[in-house]
Structure 1
Amino acid sequence: MSDARLQRAAVVYNPTRVTVAALRALIEPAAAEAGWGETRWYETTLDDSGKELTRAAVADGAAMVFAAGGDGTVRAVAEGIRDSGAALALLPYGTGNLLARNLRLPITNMADAIAIAFTGRTRNIDLGIATLSRVDGSIEEHGFLVMAGMGIDADIMANTNETLKKTVGWLAYVDAGIRVIPDARPFRIRYQLDDKPQHSAHVSTILFGNCGTLTGGLEMMPDAIVDDGLLDVAVLQPKGTLGWFELWRKLRWENGFLRRSSIGRKIIKATSGSASTITYLRSSGITVSLDKPRHVELDGDEFGIVAGVRFAADAGALAVRVR
């Protein structure tokens, strides 16, 4: 068979994250061994973080697109590949590699990640869609893969030092948290799940999840399923310092270790109090109105200030290469 008739992959890469020669030395032999044609390479720029490059790669015949960069590059490639029929291949270059963690893909071994891309299977998962209403009345739509939020988490992202993040990774968020959390105050939202009445609440953070596992194996949304066509919503309402300790205990202990066994689940049920620091909701979409504009974050990246938002799940919109 001529090379022109073979399946081809593309690589969309961030040159500040990727040593291209080293990655070529891994991908090109793997493509040849798997019977694929010549891989094509696309470098991101300040003007195009990957979305339009991915669309160009797919239009040029790419059956699979590697996202080679941070979590922002992965998100941009996913937006570009949405509903195209081509598949996303994940490489462990990000600070968190959160989608790879949730799909149980390699986050430390590049060669294994490449092998899975060429020899694994394709799984269709949901893509989170955030429709952001800006203060000036403009509307923007962006995709997200794992989790979005408003409140303390978004304020931390907005105050994270990018230079420090490149140096120490996720510890830069700890630095930002130390500065943000002492001054954080609950804020009022009005939210409406699809086909449900509107509700009002005072929250410290509200999160919208396509997946549930964060860095360090923290189970923020233990029942979230990446291909169920639904978003899981976590409303965090801790009261005082003890409330934050209770929230941490729930996420680390109840959502993790105890939930894995029938005995543990009985212990959770027996020891759960009437007052909750976290409330879980689930819907195909949710609209949130704010009394005052706030920061919003998507997959750990700050996306500016919004007056209101809508989050929804685009069911099965993203094909991903998995084991």
Structure 2
Amino acid sequence: MQESDKILFILNPKSGRQSAVDVAALIPQYLPQSRYEIVLTEFAGHATELARHGAKEGFRVVAAVGGDGTVNEVARGLLGTQAALAIIPKGSGNGLARHLKIPMQVSQALKDLSTNKFSRIDSCTINEHPFFCTAGLGFDGYISGVFANNSRRGLRSYVELVLKEFLKFKPGKAAIKLNQENFETPCFVLTFANASQYGNNAYIAPMADIRDGLLDICLIPDLSMRKALAVSYGLLTKTIATTGHADFFTSPEITVKTEKPMPFHADGEYVGEASEFHVEIKPLSLEVLTPQ
């Protein structure tokens, strides 16, 4: 990044992890005041508006300061613009930041901005909703909806909800079309991965390449408690593909029809329910700022 590049920082004051860190107070330690502006989000979707406006105003870089939801909102506002996305991780999962090797410490992420480089990554849509890390339907989507209405945030709260809701969820049936093939399957989890992980170093698609123009698709047809333990271990050790409980595919797009409406998420944020899904990748459609 050049010294003449101006940065717009979009801060979500309610992001979970490191909520006590005063990012606005830290920024002047790493950048002269002439090189940046700071704005705060005030409501859901506000970061997209702010990012789009910042790009129109000529900011070369728009930095999302928050968690995966904030990153998603800022990134979607930058699609089709000349501005690049930077991430200052301040959430509980930080999936895209971790995939791009951005430091989890706010101070280090700010310090690295001056030496970071520009590159491009793929983006994706699920039923026209942009996502950049992962999207999915089934249990993932169900939990995202429950978590959205939960007053407590963070990893511990999320894990507690998963354990509480696991036995309540019943998988549906899905008809899938990808790579000119059609098949039907039970569907406990169907994840569409652009990046390798959900966040918190839980690797749902360890082989995913965010610049290859392909979705990495993980299908878990059914999941007993015994299988769930093996899958959980696989998520944390990048070995989910060897558990025997998940099937993997790659494709630039996929169409899914479910027997009954199923909840779905985009980058961990609950979107709603649907019985038809179309997911596709947009190759190298977003410019980002990442470590050398």
The alpha-carbon distance between structure 1 residues 20 and 187, as it changes in their structure 2 partners (threshold 3 A), is closer
Look up the match of 2:125.
Answer: 129
Q: What's the secondary structure of 1:54's corresponding residue?
A: helix
Q: What is residue 31 of structure 2 aligned with on the other side?
A: 31
Q: Which residue of 2 aligns with 1:156?
A: 143
What is the TM-score normalised by the length of structure 1? 0.81
Q: Which amino acid aligns with 1:192?
A: K
Structure 2 Cα separation of the partners of residues 130 and 293 of structure 1:
15
Q: How many correspondences in the alignment?
A: 286
- Matched with 1:262 is none
Provide the C-alpha distance between the structure 2 equivalents of 1:21 and 1:205, rounded to a whole number of angstroms: 35
CA offsets 1:199-235 (integer angstroms, 9 cap, x no match): 2111211000001124443322121111111110000
- Determine the structure 2 residue equivalent to 1:74: 71
Match of 1:10 in 2: 8
Deviates more, 1:77-86 or 1:210-219: 210-219
User: Is 1:186 the counterpart of 2:184 in the alignment?
Assistant: no
Q: CA deviation at 1:184?
A: 1.9
Q: Give the partner amino acid of 1:127.
A: S
**Deviations 1:49-96, CA, capped at 9 Å, x for gaps:** 311111100100100001012221110000011131211111121110
Q: Which has the higher helix share?
A: 1
Tell me the CA shift for residue 99 of structure 1. 0.8
Give 1:151-230 correspondences, 5 Å limit.
151-160=138-147, 161-165=149-153, 169-193=154-178, 195-230=179-214
Structure 1 pair 116/187, CA: closer, same or farther in 2 (3 Å)? same
Verify: 1:308 aligned to 2:292, yes or no: no
Match of 2:257 among 289, 298, 302: 289
Instruction: Please give the alpha-carbon distance, in whole angstroms, between the structure 2 residues aligned to 1:214 and 1:105.
Output: 15
Unpaired runs of 5+ residues, structure 1, are 132-140, 260-267
Per the TM alignment, residue 121 of structure 1 is displaced from its structure 2 partner at its CA by 0.6
2:248 is aligned with what amino acid?
Y
Contact 2:253 2:281 survives alignment (8 Å): yes
Given that 1:49 and 1:73 are in contact with CA atoms closer than 8 Å, whether structure 2 keeps it comes out as: no
Label 1:21 to 1:185 Cα distance change in 2 as closer, same or farther (>3 A): closer
The answer to whether the 8 Å contact 1:64/1:89 transfers is yes
What's the CA shift string for 1:138-196, capped at 9, x where partnerless? xxx2211211111111111111253211xxx1112122212321122221111111x41
Q: Does the C-alpha gap of structure 1 residues 179 and 47 become closer, same or farther in structure 2, counting only changes over 3 Å?
A: closer
Counterpart residue type for residue 170 of structure 1: L
Aligned-residue identity in percent: 26
* Deviation at residue 16 of structure 1 after TM alignment: 3.0
Distance in 2 of aligned mates of 1:254 and 1:99: 16
Give 1:233's aligned residue: 217
**How has the CA–CA distance of structure 1 residues 244 and 122 changed in structure 2, closer, same or farther, with 3 Å as cutoff?**
same
Q: Which residue in the other structure is 1:145 paired with?
A: 132
Cα deviation for residue 277 of structure 1 reads 1.4
TM-score (norm 2): 0.89
**175-184 or 37-46, which deviates more:** 37-46
Per-residue deviation, 1:248 = 3.5
The letter for the 1-side match of 2:37 is R
**1:45 is matched with which residue: 42, 47, 55?**
42
The C-alpha deviation readout for 1:105-134, integer Å capped at 9, x for no partner, is 111x21211122222111211112121xxx
1: distance between equivalents of 2:19 and 2:256? 41
Contact 1:125–1:317, Cα closer than 8 Å, also in 2: yes
Equivalent of 2:110 in 106, 114, 127: 114
CA distance in 2, matches of 1:15, 1:239: 37
Q: Distance in 2 between matches of 1:297 and 1:21?
A: 28
Query: CA RMSD for the aligned pairs?
Result: 2.5
* Residues in 1 aligned to 2:37 and 2:200: alpha-carbon distance in whole angstroms: 34
Q: For the residues of structure 1 that align with 2:191 and 2:156, how far apart are their CA atoms? A: 21
Q: Offset at 1:254?
A: 6.5
Structure 2 vs 1, CA of residues 181 and 39 (structure 1 numbering), >3 Å: closer, same or farther? same
Q: 1:47 to 1:215 in 2, by over 3 A?
A: closer
Larger radius of gyration: 1
Is the CA contact (8 Å cut-off) linking 2:173 and 2:259 kept in structure 1?
A: yes
